[in-house]
Amino acid sequence: MSMSPRHPTKKKEKRKPLYSKKMSTHLAAVALAKGKPFELQTRPTPKPGPGELLIEIKSVALNPADGIMRDQGLFIPSYPTVIGFDISGLVVDVGDSVPDSLFQPGITRVAAYAAFLWKSCNPDYGAFQEMCLVPWQHAAPLPYKGISWNETATLPVAIEVPLSAWEVMGISPSSFSSSCTAITSGGTCKNKKQKNQALLIWGASSSVGTMGVQTARLLREDPDSPFAAVYTTAGMSNQTYIKSLGADLVFDYKEPQVVDAIISAARKDGLVIQHCFLATGQLAPCQAVLRAFLEQNYQKKKVNKAKIASAPVIPPDAEEVNGVETTLVMPSANERERLAQFRYWMGTFLVEHLTKRAIQPSPELKVVERGLEAINAGLDELLRGVSCTKLVVEVAK
């Protein structure tokens, strides 16, 4: 008896890129040498490899590290190259092994953290150009259309740095245990962790500082965290805004007695300070605050260990304080670990909390100008000093 042939298995249809062969080149702001301004050049548009996205960049946000890299060549092994971290844009092509459900060419809008530092500064992965390759784990699909391209560009570094800080200090939400082994007759947990700490953020009006306040507020609201309050420092003109993001107390970092004021406030509130996120500023004041609580007898428990997560590079001549561990905030150098970190920071935490409106782009942004040629002027302005402002360059509409 003859049998009907089975229908052949359909091959997975290759997703077509949004751009055509006529668009095989794009403009980039290229770093040609240490200490030299970027120059506009035409570059070949790359194809995404396995696990990669090709993003048409709409806006880029500027960071102090960008200016340091341009002027001092920090981390750059060879030239020419393209640098920059903060991206908003449209996915236009995807490589193999990219989740279909998350990224669709011509449809998916993303915030993305450029990966050039982990690609030996390969210019295909730098942000300051019209087209950029990004590992899909570094990208966050936007959950709704109410966020502008400019606002979206402010998110990647701002969210990565404080979440990384909580991780290196061992206070990220995943480190809190929700288990309860003893229940009272009223149904409450007998051995529930007591909220007896204040989390200190030094330099809260920087871009990573403002997002640090927002994410610290979420830590404070976590019933399993030890944090009862978020203390911060900022200039007088920014204190109302920092409080609106979730800070309980804001201290003027310019006051000569600011360290004593923070210590006194914590003791008045019956709290200890064991963790400090140094978003910007000097290391010594953070060390001075934490030193005051070391070995302090608090409810018959001694505080003998404290941690600082520093966004600025730690000076080689920085004082070492017994009991205070200071760590530079950086994603893991191990690729597998780094991709897992970014998958959580961008694809899980950022998307989830944007969807719930639990966080918002911060601080207030300022558009420098439109066009890649504006990046040099924007970095010059940033390095002269801005307060509670994120500078953005519009690359395309």
Give the DSSP per-residue string, 133-169: EEEGGGEEE-SSTTS-HHHHHTHHHHHHHHHHHHHHT
**6 falls in which pLDDT band (50, 70, 90)?**
very low
In a domain, residue 199? The reply is yes
Question: Pick from 274, 296, 328: which residue ends a domain?
Answer: 328
| Mean pLDDT score, 241-264 | 98
The alpha carbon dihedral of 270, 276, 282, 288 has a sign of positive
Is 293 found in the same domain as 219? yes
Contact 81, 121 (CB under 8 A): yes
Determine the average pLDDT of the residues in 214-231: 97
> Are 71 and 113 part of one and the same domain?
yes
Count of CA atoms in the C-beta half-sphere (13 A) of 113: 23
Q: Is residue 36 predicted with pLDDT exceeding 90?
A: yes
- Residue 137 and residue 34 in one domain: yes
Confidence of residue 8 (pLDDT cuts 50, 70, 90): very low
Asked, for residue 32, whether it belongs to a domain, the answer is yes
Indicate if the pLDDT at residue 299 is higher than 60.
no
The closest of 214, 89, 216, 86 to 157, measured between CA atoms, is 86
Q: Cβ(204)–Cβ(250) under 8 Å?
A: yes
Amino acid 26 reads: H
Helix (H, G, I), strand (E, B) or coil at 393: strand
Between residues 194 and 296, the one the model is more confident about: 194
Query: 173 falls in which pLDDT band (50, 70, 90)?
Result: confident
Residue whose C-alpha is closest to residue 71's, from 36, 105, 19, 100? 36
CA distance 121 to 341: 20
Q: Kindly state whether residues 218 and 344 are assigned to the same domain.
A: no
pLDDT for the residue 350: 97
In a domain, 64, yes or no: yes
Give me the sheet containing 227-234, strands edge to edge: 249-252, 227-234, 197-202, 272-278, 306-310, 324-328
In a domain, 1, yes or no: no
Residue 147 and residue 360 in contact, taking contact as beta carbons nearer than 8 Å: no
Statement to judge: residues 89 and 209 lie in one domain: no
Please, which pLDDT band fits residue 225 given cuts at 50, 70 and 90? very high
Stated pTM of the model: 0.90
Structure tokens at 288: 């001075």
Residue 268 lies in a domain: yes
Task: Report the alpha-carbon distance of residue 220 to residue 227 in Å, rounded.
Answer: 5
Does 292 lie in the same domain as 357?
no
- The CATH code of the domain that includes 294 is 3.40.50.720
Q: Is residue 185 in a domain?
A: no
Assess contact for 341 and 335: CB atoms under 8 A.
no
The domain boundary, picked from 328, 363, 383, lies at 328
Q: pLDDT, tens digit, for every residue of 76-99?
A: 999 999 999 999 999 999 999 999
List pLDDT tens digits, range 19-32.
654 569 999 999 99
Instruction: Give the CATH number of the domain where residue 71 resides.
Output: 3.90.180.10
Q: Is residue 366 a part of any domain in this protein?
A: yes
- What is the distance, to the nearest Å, from the Cα of residue 195 to the centroid of all Cα atoms in its chain? 26
What does residue 56 show for φ and ψ, rounded to 5 degrees? -85, 115
Which of 197, 164, 156, 160 has the alpha carbon at shortest distance from 305? Answer: 197
Shared domain for 310 and 170, answered yes or no, is: yes
In the predicted structure, residue 179 carries a pLDDT above the cut 90 = no
Statement: residue 4 has pLDDT above 80: no
The structural domain count of the chain equals 2
**Beta-carbon neighbour count of residue 83 at 10 Å?**
26
pLDDT value at residue 264: 98
Q: Which of 328, 356, 372 is the last residue of a domain?
A: 328
CB atoms within 10 A of CB 251: 21
Q: Please indicate, yes or no, whether residues 338 and 318 belong to a single structural domain of this protein.
A: no
Give the tens place of pLDDT for each residue, 118-140: 999 999 999 999 999 999 999 99
Contact 318, 337 (CB under 8 A): no
- Strand, helix or coil for residue 71: helix
Report DSSP state, residue 31: B
Supply the angle between the helices 283-293 and 258-268 in degrees, to the nearest 10.
30
Q: Are residues 338 and 226 in the same domain?
A: no
Regarding whether 305 and 168 lie in a shared domain, the answer is yes
In the numeric block, which tokens belong to residue 265? 């406030």
Q: Domain of residue 223: give its range.
A: 163-175+193-328
Cα–Cα distance measured from residue 23 to residue 383, given in angstroms and rounded to the nearest whole number: 35
Question: Is residue 304, in this structure, part of any structural domain at all?
Answer: yes
204 and 314, same domain (yes or no): yes
**Residue 207 sits in the same domain as residue 143:** no
Query: How many other CB atoms sit within 10 Å of the CB of residue 6?
Result: 6
Mean pLDDT of 309-326: 94
177 by DSSP, 3-state: which? coil
